[in-house]
Structure 1
């Protein structure tokens, strides 16, 4: 029997559903610390399961008192805090559906989601740049301000709870009841509302924990990726409900290192961009060649590893994982030499982020490993698309039946949009997006993702995009990291150009002739969510890159320079 066998599924016992788990911790561990929340100014607040549930019950009572019909949509716009999760619990307990919004969205997108979801109320929490977001909140939509929210005139958390009567008993929801609508960050087009039930989440976290044994009641996680993202929602929220582990919250980008030091997570998940930043930070203090030499020395290498991981706050990490975008194989090998092997996970919002992962202790750089237990997968022979199927797959897209039919086959297979290949061991290798392939003027197709994995490994590069439809050869566009951008503005362009030119040579040396990059174009201006170049999960929007830079492609290539500045 294999993981692709349909009979290899996992049952969903009622005790594993979110609300049942919530009441379990309220009954059995009321005084255990559930959350550790920074309040600003060095103040840290711990919340026990009893305190969490006391507030959730009051808020659920408040929501029900508003008279909303069962199944009404309640929205959340906030960075990660303990109260984000308390709101989610209260929404579920009251019989409603939560609609989380990324805390970095532009006003136009906020309005589109709030109107499309038919949200009846919006919780506004900790945010940066709220004044720019506020115009996106429809006039007349009731709002409630969570603790740590920016200045506003909305009813305050403490006042709302003070007037509420707590919800009594242990109301539960069936497995097939709609729990949440998660709007995808999407690299193209407007977000789609992915509908998940209590059952899809319960099955998915159960399948994940069946693979990964490092998450239990003694585990610690730092919550910092948006809770509106499926990885954080499944791993942190539902992972905590399943195990009772302790969750710490990050305060800000500026305090992130201190937040990691405080939490000392035993489990840490991140997107590739942050793993690259960690590596670059280490290399600024110790040149790569010197570090490589030291790590080869038996006793000294162990001391160096311990010191570096301690400085990162990851010295107690038993499970490190990366996902949401491809992990460059060289990056994975670097962390393995450092003594922190990273498992690579693969999934989508549409399947709770649960599909494939490499096995702990069995590194397979360049692949995303094998299916989780109960996950069926196949590759479409017609176009190489990866398709997956399991009980954690979404119910569909909210109010979008045609898009749902495009995404799901009649018998439940999910079109991922990703292209893939299987190696001799059955490990899945992502080779690009079905729609990301582009054709050069020579009639050759280019898959940009594997080339980008190599391009981003330069010490000065923070993000990149390989493009060039209808050109003779593709080209690479790179965004410098802050240190490199500063050096470039202070007379360091020549050194960066020389280094990138050597990087270009090394990349082209291992590519097929039709894939070789004509040049590298350097962008100093940051790609951000605000200017629409990246998604809230740090994926580059290829259509936006084309809008901004395509008019320059011919001129750049015509200059015949290996490295240019945009």
Structure 2
């Protein structure tokens, strides 16, 4: 078995001694220390409504008391089936303060899987966003014998099984009258090892698995960010990430620890518009957001053509060269420096303005970010800090620092945790953020956690001399060609997305075959723009991608990709699919990860035909 020495990122773990005992106390401490500071703002009509920590605390107390009045006991599960919005945060914090355990459900999860998650977790109460989410519960009511009450944000109530958020708050008011101080008392009684959250991984195979995460895990996540001085009270976050995903929960924990304000709106189609209005100083996102933004900016400039496009390309050529010289510690020639200053005013400032103009950095997680795209944004003065973690380690395991980052890595391990490489260079993690185990799945837990507490991530990686981690890929996704060469498909797929601004998905196959092939899908929004500029305005996605002109265009990008690959990695044959991958088709998880095995099964005949 291959061994590596343990790499501790920070020998000073004194901050661990001063952690709040649980998330509820962490929240109440924040309310007490920053009562009049802005906590959240959220869209209300065409404007944004702002609330302070004190106002948030008052509403959370009412809702937590309401849950206690319904009989919620320590560690009993309470579900949230909703998109990202202010009410999601209120519900989650109320569950924490009532000593319950939040069970998260993506709003895109189908009725059958929603029922499975709520049944397996034995949820007693569920917060349901609207009538669409309510319909999933009512149609599967017989499968949910533990479900006593549903609280809806916007859906229709029946005054009995389904009540509104304000109805729950009024139940809380009555309970507080007869039990003053009950929420603070309940919060203080929660132990660090008590179950706080049950997050069901959307998994690319099989049924979702419930990951059991303790209060101390979330408190640790926020404190580990705070102690590194990454975020401060005067920062402003824009939050759109699905709160059903553990990445969103890390950002909430960081907010409680650091005290910054958060503008929250989960509508993905509003991200760019909202950034211009909110003008945040940072935002967390998945790589797909940066890929789409990069593709949109590049294609918009290409459509302009002429002098503007030449200016744009020259600006980034200069910006990337200045960045390279800076990283290598070399001096920048005066002429290049003057050009860079001019391009910053003419080009880069406009790119930054698209994101509000105040962003100190973005944090990218949930999947690998292509290094070329990170460097492209950096040339425009936008820093993207890549991080890494799994739901099984409360999402946050590694992150680059604004003052100390390396492109292509996910940074060092969080302070107070450890990392080592096991057999086959598998990344192993240990620390307060590692899960308690999988809910009702002792055998799966034993496969994933070693007896001495190390989490087997299933990812292959390498550590440099400074402890910065580079992810090579998912071990189970690596395959070997019939010629004996190992292929990391995710690395090739990521490179194509950097090369082709129209790409949505690029899936590489070739296990035990003599060459690699790919299935390609294009971004529907980007192709609408392409169609308008190429005489196909109004045509369907299928007709657009079947056109000879698009096939020729994609072929050019595949050739460019191949020029950057080793001979055995090159894509010999490829095909454009007549549809993009979707959650509804079962080819994407709710967190937008590709279910490679489903795609391969769905298109087995096409893949086999490549080799016939």
Partner of 1:563: none
How far 1:129 sits from its partner (Å)? Answer: 7.1
Aligned partners of 1:5 and 1:491: how far apart in 2? 48
Alignment match of 1:157 (pick from 143, 155, 165): 165
Query: For residues 349 and 180 of structure 2, what CA distance do their matches in structure 1 show?
Result: 49
Match status 1:100 vs 2:108 = no
User: Could you say if the C-alpha distance between residues 204 and 127 of structure 1 is closer, same or farther in structure 2, counting changes exceeding 3 Å?
Assistant: farther
Any gaps of 5 or more consecutive residues in structure 2? 303-308, 319-338, 532-540
Q: Is 1:38 aligned to residue 59 of structure 2?
A: no
TM-score, scaled to structure 1: 0.91
What is residue 34 of structure 2 aligned with on the other side? 29
Moved more, 11-20 or 330-339: 11-20
Q: Does the Cα contact within 8 Å between 2:9 and 2:414 map onto a contact in 1?
A: no
Partner of 1:291: 312
Equivalent position SS for 1:15:
coil
Q: Distance in 2 between matches of 1:386 and 1:204?
A: 19
Specify the SS of the correspondent of 2:585.
coil
Structure 1 residues 427, 42: closer, same or farther in 2, change over 3 A? same
- Per the alignment, do residues 534 and 373 of structure 1 end up closer, same or farther by CA in structure 2, a change over 3 Å counting? same
Check the 8 A contact 1:343/1:363 in 2, yes or no: yes
Does the 8 A contact of 1:14 with 1:20 survive in 2? Answer: no
Deviations 1:346-399 (Å, cap 9, x if unpaired)?
Answer: 11111112222233244432222222222211112x322111111211111111
Q: Are 1:20 and 2:25 an aligned pair?
A: yes
Which one of the candidate residues 60, 64, 72 is aligned to 1:68?
A: 72
- 1:273 aligned to which of 288, 304, 314: 288
**CA deviation after TM superposition for structure 1 residue 435, in Å:** 0.8
CA contact (8 A) 1:103 1:226 kept: no
Deviation at 1:134, TM superposition (A): 5.5
Q: 2:150 aligns with which of 144, 153, 166?
A: 144
Displacement of 1:485 in angstroms is 4.0
Partner of 2:551: 497
In structure 2, do the counterparts of structure 1 residues 152 and 466 end up closer, same or farther at CA, with 3 Å as the change threshold? Answer: farther
Q: Structure 2 residue aligned with 1:507, among 538, 543, 561?
A: 561
Residue 344 of structure 1 aligns with which residue? 386
CA shift for structure 1 position 492: 8.0
Deviation at 1:128, TM superposition (A): 6.4
1:250 aligns with 2:265: yes
Q: Are the equivalent residues in 2 in contact too, given 1:3–1:372 (CA < 8 A)?
A: no
CA shift in 2, pair 1:276/1:554, >3 Å: same
**Distance in 1 separating the partners of 2:33 and 2:563:** 60
Q: Assess if the C-alpha contact under 8 Å between 2:239 and 2:284 holds in 1.
A: no
1-structure distance, mates of 2:131, 2:497: 30
Q: Aligned pair in 2 of structure 1 residues 319, 2: CA closer, same or farther (>3 Å)?
A: farther
Give runs of aligned pairs for residues 122-521 of structure 1, distance below 5 A: 122-125=126-129, 131=135, 135-136=139-140, 138=143, 141-147=147-153, 149-151=154-156, 153=158, 154-164=162-172, 165-166=175-176, 168-169=180-181, 170-171=184-185, 172=188, 173-211=190-228, 213-235=229-251, 237-250=252-265, 252-287=267-302, 290-295=311-316, 296=318, 297-303=339-345, 304-313=347-356, 315-380=357-422, 382-423=423-464, 425-457=466-498, 458-486=500-528, 487=531, 489-490=543-544, 493-521=547-575
Query: What's the CA shift for 1:337?
Result: 0.5
SS of the residue 2:377 aligns to: helix
CA contact (8 A) 1:104 1:536 kept: yes
Query: Contact conserved, 1:124 with 1:143, CA < 8 A, in 2?
Result: no
CA-CA distance at 1:118 after TM superposition: 0.7
Q: For the Cα contact (< 8 Å) 2:212–2:436, is it kept in 1?
A: yes
1:11 to 2:26 alignment: no
- Report the aligned-residue RMSD: 2.5
Secondary structure of residue in 1 paired with 2:520: strand
Counterpart-to-counterpart distance in 2, 1:416 and 1:93? 31
Is the 2:461–2:472 Cα contact (8 Å) retained in structure 1? yes
After superposition, the C-alpha distances for 1:400-427 in whole angstroms (9 at most, x for unaligned) are 1111111111111110000112345543
SS across alignment from 2:401: coil
Indicate the structure with greater helix content: 2
Q: Label 1:214 to 1:134 Cα distance change in 2 as closer, same or farther (>3 A).
A: farther
Contact map agreement 1:36 1:44 (CA 8 A) in 2: yes
Output the CA distance in 2 between the equivalents of 1:434 and 1:360.
Answer: 30
Which deviates further from its counterpart, 363-372 or 169-178?
363-372
Kindly report which structure 2 residues correspond to 1:46-85, keeping only aligned pairs within 5 A, or say none. 46-85=50-89
Contact 2:82/2:133 (<8 A) preserved: no
Check the 8 A contact 1:79/1:127 in 2, yes or no.
no
CA distance in 2 between counterparts of 1:337 and 1:127 reads 46
* In 1, Cα distance between equivalents of 2:478 and 2:441: 26
Whether the 8 Å CA contact 1:341–1:361 is kept in 2: the answer is: no
CA contact (8 A) 2:225 2:254 kept: no
Matches of 2:524 and 2:568 in 1, distance apart?
32
442 and 133 in structure 1: CA distance in 2 versus 1, 3 angstrom threshold: farther
SS in structure 2 of the partner of residue 254 of structure 1: helix
Q: TM-score, with normalisation over the residues of structure 2?
A: 0.84
Q: 1:127 to 1:503 in 2, by over 3 A?
A: farther
1:309 Cα deviation from its structure 2 partner: 1.3
Q: Tell me how far apart the structure 2 counterparts of residues 491 and 225 of structure 1 sit (CA, whole Å).
A: 30
Does structure 1 residue 544 correspond to structure 2 residue 598?
yes
